[in-house]
Amino acid sequence: MASAGESFFEGAEKLLEVWFEFDDDSLESSLRSIDRKVWEDLLKVVKCEIISRTADEDMDAYVLSESSMFVTKDRFILKTCGTTTLLYAVKPLIKLVKEKCRLKQILDIFYSRKNFSRPDLQIGMHRNFSDEVSHLDKQFRNGAAYSLGRINQDCWYLYTLDNAGVERPDQTFELLMWDMCREKMRVFTKDVSENGLDATKRSGICDIIPGAKIDEFLFEPCGYSMNGLLPGGYYITIHVTPEEEFSYVSFESNVPRESYDELVKKVLEVFRPGKFLMTIFANKASVAKDCHKEINDAESLQGYVRQDHQFCIFKNYNLTYTMYSRPIL
């Protein structure tokens, strides 16, 4: 995802998730009725483009030049790294959904990101979370902005709506990893792997959640993106920035788990980060709604030491934020 000439690439993604409610159940009342051309135009605003598309009964999944996009009937997810300008697309997104579909209301919004390594290289409002918040506040009433973790070290920002939100079970699990194992990262270069599929197999990504329909891409000369689709409307998405000077990997999924322990273990084995942060969102109807309890009690995880742990109760969602680092021996 970084080209050879660049001295730095910001792996940390901007992540937007929007839940829509429509007037009826007609064909037009679905985001999936929107033409690819319309999405392509929207992505121009963000400064990225579609590389590949896969789909199943429940969603369309796109691998982008900078990360991923997922479109279901009523949920839109856009995750973009580098110096993309994701939040500039929020207003156009809502406008196009109003035009193309029978929009009743926006049920919920989640915009989140880790603090950037080089905020100075970002464009416009993305240099600064408070500018991003001001931009979103102009479009939404009831927007609530938070920072979790240490503002002066590693932290994670969130903007969401103080709404009743999504009623059906929903959960999002993220592992954002950095200071990666050099050896593990070599797989995600053209020197070692032939193509995306080869990297998926060699890395062990194919075994993290078996049975997923995977669409992946290995960038030239290095960098990797994958989307995985699972029956029932579940997705996985992984993005790898392997360069040692700014290595970064993200794992995200909405698979429901009462405990994410096993999944964490598998992801850490594949990537071996020096540090990582874990966020888990779970609404009241989710099987994951109590998984913060075991995390509250655990001062270490798979050999990593907990640096920070915060638990938040929102109107409809519980959120845990935990940051871990490999102990210095």
Q: Which is nearer to a copy of itself, 4 or 313 (CB)?
A: 313
What residues form the annotated binding site for substrate? Answer: 9, 66, 219, 243
239 part of the active site: yes
Residue of 126, 239, 292, 309 marked catalytic: 239
Catalytic status, residue 130: no
**Least separation in angstroms between CB 150 and a copy of itself:** 5
In the annotation, is 48 catalytic?
no
Helices and strands, counts by H and E, the chain: 7, 17
Distance in angstroms (rounded) separating the CA atoms of residues 225 and 65:
9
What burial letters (b/e) apply to 234-248, b meaning 16+ CB within 10 Å? bbbbbbbbbbeebbb
CB of 179 to a copy of itself, least distance (A): 18
Q: Which of 110, 91, 107 is nearest to 99 (CA)?
A: 91
Binding annotation: 9, 66, 219, 243
**What's the rounded Cα separation, in Å, for the pair 118 and 160?**
24
Residue closer to a copy of itself (CB basis): 101 or 148? 148
From 30, 48, 65, 81, active-site residue: 81
How many Cβ atoms sit within 10 Å of the Cβ of residue 183? 8
Contact (Cβ atoms closer than 8 angstroms) between residue 95 and residue 101: no
Cβ proximity to a copy of itself: between 115 and 259 the closer is 115
Chain positions contacting a copy of itself, by CB under 8 A? 129-130, 133, 137, 143-147, 149-153, 162, 296, 306-314
CA dist., res. 125 & res. 132, Å (int): 5
List b or e across 276-313, with b for residues whose CB sees 16 or more CB atoms inside 10 angstroms.
Answer: bbbbbbbbeebebbebbeebeeeeebeebeeebbbeee
Q: Closest CB to a copy of itself among 261 and 308?
A: 308
Residue with Cβ nearer a copy of itself (43 or 133): 133
Closest distance between a copy of itself and the C-beta of residue 151, in Å?
A: 4
Q: How far is the CB of 69 from a copy of itself (least distance, A)?
A: 27
Instruction: Count Cβ neighbours within 10 Å for each residue of 102-113 and write b for 16 or more, e otherwise.
Output: ebeebbbbbbbb
Inter-CA distances, 314 with 160, 282, 289, 294, 318, Å: 9, 10, 12, 19, 6
Residue with smaller CB distance to a copy of itself, 192 or 301: 301
How far is it, in rounded angstroms, from Cα 30 to Cα 25?
8
Q: Which of 30, 67, 112, 250 is catalytic?
A: 67
Establish whether 117 is a catalytic residue: no
CB 313, min distance to a copy of itself, A: 4
Q: Of these residues, 30, 112, 225, 253, which one is catalytic?
A: 225
* Shortest Cβ 310–a copy of itself spacing (Å): 5
Q: How far is the C-alpha of 84 from the C-alpha of 255, rounded, in Å? A: 27
Looking at the annotation, which residues are catalytic?
A: 67, 81, 225, 239
